[in-house]
Amino acid sequence: MIAETTQAAPYAPVDNVLTVIRRLRERGLPERLGLGELQTIGIPAGNAPRTLAALRFLGLVDEDGQRTQALERLDRATTEEYPQVLAEIVRAAYTPVFTIVDPAQDSDIALHDAFRPYEPKRQRPRMITLFLGLCREAGIVPGGPPARRARTRRTQVIKPEGIRSAEKLGRPEVKQEEPAPTDSGGADYRLLAALMQQLPKDGKWSKARRDRWIQAISASVDLLVEITVEDGGN
C-alpha cells in the first residue's frame, strides 16, 4: 500500500504578504527577513510566522530568512515588468495547482478541488484567498491588484451610566459619537432624543417592547433631571 503524501500551502493574510512585496519595491527590505524584521515593517506579531512561511513557499527567502534571487528579481523589475516577474514566481510556487486549474477561467468548485491535496484542511479557504490575491497582484486573474487596507486606530468610547442602564433594560443600541459641548451649558438631553427616535414609525409595537422603552426613558430622566425639594408646596 502506497502512503499518500500531503502537501502544505501557505495561508497568511494576503495583505501581509503583499505588504512585504510592495515594501521591497517602494522602500527596500533588510538583507534577512525573520519574525522580528517582519514585525518591524508592520506585520502583526500573530501573523508574522504565517507571512514568513508564505515568503519561503514563494521562494522569496530561504530557510534562514536570507533574500533569494527571486526576491532580487522583484526588486529590480520595472513597473511594467513587475506583474510578469511576480506571475512567474507564483506559477512556479503553485505548479501543482496550475496543472489542474486556470484561476482566470475555471469555477470556484474546480479551484477548491485543486487545493484538496493541501493541508491543514481547515485552512484551505485561507490558502485559496492568498492564492487568488497573489494572482490578482500578478495579473493572472482580472480585477487588478488587491487594495491596501487602511489601518484605523481603535478608540474606546466610555458610555455614560444612563446609556449603559438603558441598554441593560433591553432597548435597541444607540450609537454614540464623542459628546459635543451643549449650546448653552445646560442639561444635555441628546440621550432622550435618541430614545424618542426609537418610537415605532408605524405607531405599533408589542407590550414588552413598550415596557422596555418606558423603563429606559424613566432611567434616563432620573439620570438627567434633578428632583428639587418644593418650598411650601408651591
pLDDT digits (tens, 9 = 90+) for 125-170: 999 999 999 999 999 998 888 886 655 444 454 454 544 444 454 5
Kindly give the interhelix angle for 124-138 and 14-26, rounded to the nearest 10 degrees. Answer: 30
Nearest to 25 by CA among 90, 88, 76, 84: 76
Averaged pLDDT score across all residues of the chain = 81
pLDDT digits (tens, 9 = 90+) for 202-233: 788 787 777 777 877 777 776 667 676 555 54
Query: How many residues make up the chain in this entry?
Result: 234
Residues 201-224, buried b or exposed e (16+ Cβ, 10 A)? eeeeeeeeeeebbebbbebbeebe
User: Does 180 score more than 50 pLDDT?
Assistant: no
Q: Where are the chain's structural domains?
A: 7-138, 161-224
